Amino acid sequence: MNIRPVLDRFDAIASWLQSPLLLIIRLYWGWSFAQTGWGKLHHLEKTVSYFESLQIPMPKLNAIAAGMTECGGGILLALGLFARPISVPLIFTMIVAYITADNEALHAITSDPDKFVSAAPFQFLLAAVLVLAFGPGRISLDALIFRKSAAAK
């Protein structure tokens, strides 16, 4: 019995789900990033105070940088515009969030993985890593723009 044709068909069907799934991830987490960043910028003094309590150097500058990265990066992520490049600063921001605000969860990555994955930065980090690894999918501005520019050459 040759199972290869069945597996090939299954792979083709399953691959069809990639772009809709990436769209859902980008829309939900991009919007969530944008809202979180907007909140940081809209309540800047409160964010600065929180960053000071975490002993983050230059708390106002870092609050603005984190807020703008999350807000602007979240919008770009949701649109699927420069999605892979913008995922890098979003990932960096979430790693910094783990190191500063959820350090205990970060250190529990091997001893208590539930604590690590239930920390606030985890899902944001995961969404950004998925987009970095797999791209924004076919349902994105990147696909639309770069498909047209490739066809024009």
Distance CA 105, CA 54 (A): 15
Distance CA 136, CA 153 (A): 22
pLDDT tens, residue by residue, 54-95: 999 999 999 999 999 999 999 999 999 999 999 999 999 999
pTM of the predicted protein model:
0.89
**The pLDDT of residue 150 is above 70:** no
pLDDT tens, residue by residue, 19-62: 999 999 999 999 999 999 999 999 999 999 999 999 999 999 99
SS3 135: coil
